[in-house]
Amino acid sequence: MTELRVRVRRLAHGRDLPLPRYATAQSAGMDLHAAVAAAATIPPGARLAVPTGLAIALPPGYEAQVRPRSGLALKHGLILPNAPGTIDADYRGEILVILANIGEAEFVVTRGLRIAQMIVAPVQRVSWEEDVNLDDTERGAGGFGSTGTGARPGE
């Protein structure tokens, strides 16, 4: 597998933190770390944009997806309300991670904490072709749990 080279800039407040890296040979995502100057508390029901101290320059035709870490979600109720968050190829600002606390206790974000994971993926551009007729499929217009029920829309 060939690796995609992506330029990254460590911002002053993130220079001592590790760059995103794969934890294992088969990992899809790379961990992002909190570049907070001091511990930040997220009360239950609140959100916080957490800095990572990183800015990247993705090549055209790619995006970076910011996704939650399953351990933080299960153990502490921390989610990313816009997951996956998209970093476009032409964005050059700092990567921020929006954390939401849906747990029952306050959560403290400390410097260097692994707060999210990032996946770099290709993007397919489309052009729309308007048509009054779409081809039939087995599923049709069924959605919201309709697959595997045997019911077709209108039945």
What is the extent of the structural domain holding 104? 7-122
Rounded to an integer, what distance in angstroms lies between the CA atom of residue 12 and that of residue 14?
6
Q: In this structure, is residue 154 part of a structural domain?
A: no
Enter the pTM of the model.
Answer: 0.87
Residue with tokens 């995502």: 29
Angle subtended at Cα 8 by Cα 47 and Cα 79, rounded to the nearest 5 degrees: 20
Cα separation, 77 vs 134, whole angstroms: 41
Residue type, 87: I
Does residue 17 sit within a domain? yes
User: Considering the domain boundaries, does residue 136 fall inside one?
Assistant: no
CATH, residue 83: 2.70.40.10
The total number of structural domains that make up the chain: 1
Full pLDDT tens readout for the chain, 155 residues: 789 999 999 999 999 999 999 999 999 999 999 999 999 999 999 999 999 999 999 999 999 999 999 999 999 999 999 999 999 999 999 999 999 999 999 999 999 999 999 999 999 999 999 999 999 988 888 888 777 665 555 55
